[in-house]
Amino acid sequence: MNEAVATDSKPLIELSGVTKTYGKGTAAMQALRGVDLHIESGEFVAVMGPSGSGKSTSMNILGCLDTPTVGSYRFMGVEVGTLSRDQRALLRRQYLGFVFQGFNLLNRTTALENVELPLVYRGEPIAVRHRKAREALASVGLAGWEDHTPGELSGGQQQRVAIARAIVTQPAVLFADEPTGSLDTTRSREIMEILTKLNQEQGITVVMVTHEADMAIYARRTIHFRDGLVMQEHDTEEHAAGNGGVQ
């Protein structure tokens, strides 16, 4: 990714004519059918759509967890399809952070140790890992909770640890897959406020899959998938205001 130098004229993320087909012959299933999509640096984008619409497949491609069958995916101006498997893994490690509905924390390790994991993979010294992990936990409101294991934390606190782990490497993009799906309304709003703060104050681009309209309104732009295509894009605030709020 040494050649991946962003320019002001290019989107951070760009899909062009992306098709994804699983299986062959009569068993082939087309999950994406020619998707065009761009996301600028610093955006907060919500991705919505029913099951089977293609939104999860698109997120997997954007997160370098899968590759298009046809079409182009450019990240910071670099064609991801030309990268080797190891180069895509390096791209994920250096530029991307991930948050999931199920938290995906290691149960027998402390919050601090969970957050340090990406830094361990990078080979960072212990002192640097401790400092950066503590800073990340503090940024999500968990200063003082470093020595607690996931079993000693609420669901909302566990998701905060997961977010801290995702941002400890200072990624360019944070992919959040149903980050509030396991939480009650109050905790969900707290998580969305954290994501909004990270986007606005740290400049992290946030791409969030959600089925909850009241969570999507925190994003600046909403993209709707259906039947493997992008069917609609709109500025979230203008859309909500124009319809008297989210129904």
What's the CA gap between 76 and 20, in Å, rounded? 22
Question: Could you tell me if residue 25 is left (phi over 0), alpha (psi between -120 and 50 degrees) or otherwise beta?
Answer: left
What is the pLDDT, as a whole number, of residue 74?
Answer: 97
The pTM for the full model equals 0.88
| Residue 180 located in a structural domain | yes
**Domain assignment of residue 1, yes or no:** no
Looking at the domain assignment, is residue 95 inside a domain?
Answer: yes
Q: Is residue 3 part of a domain?
A: no
Model confidence at 107: pLDDT above 60: yes
What CATH number has the domain bearing residue 236?
3.40.50.300
Predicted confidence at residue 9, as pLDDT, reads 64
Domain presence at residue 131: yes
Residue-level pLDDT at 10: 82
On whether residue 228 sits in a domain, the answer given is yes
Given a cut of 80, whether residue 1 has pLDDT beyond it is no
Is residue 200 in a domain? yes
Domain for residue 8, yes or no? no
- How many structural domains compose the chain? 1
Domain limits at 137?
Answer: 13-242
Work out the pLDDT band at 232, boundaries 50, 70, 90.
confident
pLDDT tens string 61-91 = 999 999 999 999 999 999 998 999 999 999 9
Interval 135-186: pLDDT, tens: 999 999 999 999 999 999 999 999 999 999 999 999 999 999 999 999 999 9
Mean pLDDT of the chain: 91
Of 139, 185, 134, nearest to 160 by C-alpha is: 139
Is residue 25 very low, low, confident or very high in pLDDT (cuts 50, 70, 90)?
Answer: confident
